[in-house]
Homo-oligomer: A and B are copies of this chain.
């Protein structure tokens, strides 16, 4: 996006989110310390904070502010983090590294890693409840709890993860691959944008547009993730490149080839930005974020 200073925007929003996460997570000395250390270890490991920033951008697109949606923005990051901790477990993907550091279970053991994930998911809903004080219509909290639960549950993220695990080492159809991507990753990304817009008072028509754009963006994000896994290296990704291939994971490049995958991601990004055109200048951050999803190197 010509004219929009995305790097400064990301830096500022990330700082807001990081400070809010710092406040939201129990201190490492609060009993029982082990689980609080494990929660902080994974949440504070860095990461792009893409989902919370999308919550904020969703709010801004309908005229709201970051302050209105910050607890829910943090909630989405906690849900994302819990899913990574559980996905990395030996019983699931069995990964030793994440974001360039040892995974939770390698540091704290499987039991505490499972419980830290459970606790992050639980705390996420606590934060959404806390958001009631900051919005014009506290009744929207009920809808946000429902939307986030749907996007994180078996109709969304968990559903995608189940099919992903069951598909390992199998030849899968194009439809199954898209099912996995839409559910495992896109559902939560789409929900991030939707709930941001809803909390900020966006009307049904605005939420519907943002929702469509969010679906495109979410799918594009996962396709780019797959491409980066093929191309990337440990330094850039913080995880072992080619790990999807090693685990015989279904990926877009494996099914469609690299070039077609890139074209598909680019098409989705352009379509998302086109949809967002109805918001004029207000959608500048979100459109720049869409480009970033395509161009990012990790």
Contact = CB atoms under 8 A, between A and B. Distances in A.
Interface of A: 26, 30-32, 34-36, 39, 82, 86, 89, 91-92, 109-112, 114-115, 117-119, 121-123, 125-126, 128-130, 132, 138-139, 141-143, 145-146, 148-150, 152-155, 158-159, 161-163, 165-166, 179
A153 B166 contact: no
B92 A111 contact: yes
A11 B162 CA distance: 36
Contact of A149 (B111, B122, B148, B166): B122
Nearest to A128: B145
Nearest to A25: B154
Judged by DSSP, the binding face of A is helix
Nearest to A180: B32
Given A138-B142, A141-B141, A145-B145, A158 B118 contact: yes
A138 to B, nearest CB: 6
A149 to B, nearest CB: 4
A126 B111 CA distance: 26
A91 B118 contact: no
Contacts of A117: 118
Given A118-B158, A158-B118, A150 B126 contact: yes
A46 to B, nearest CB: 22
Contacts of A122: 121, 149, 152-153, 158
Nearest to A150: B126
A145 B34 CA distance: 25
A164 B119 CA distance: 16
Query: Copy number of this protein in the oligomer?
Result: 2
Contacts of A126: 145-146, 149-150, 153
Contact of A91 (B31, B35, B111, B142): B111
B154 A129 contact: no
Given A129-B149, A153-B119, A31 B142 contact: no
A162 B130 contact: no
17 contacts: A31-B179, A35-B158, A35-B159, A36-B154, A89-B110, A89-B114, A91-B109, A91-B110, A92-B111, A112-B162, A115-B158, A119-B153, A122-B152, A123-B153, A123-B154, A126-B153, A142-B142
A146 B155 CA distance: 24
Given A91-B91, A132-B139, 4 more contacts: A36-B154, A92-B111, A118-B121, A122-B153
A201 to B, nearest CB: 17
A21 to B, nearest CB: 15
A159 B33 CA distance: 9
Contacts of A112: 162, 165
Nearest to A132: B142
A285 B150 CA distance: 35
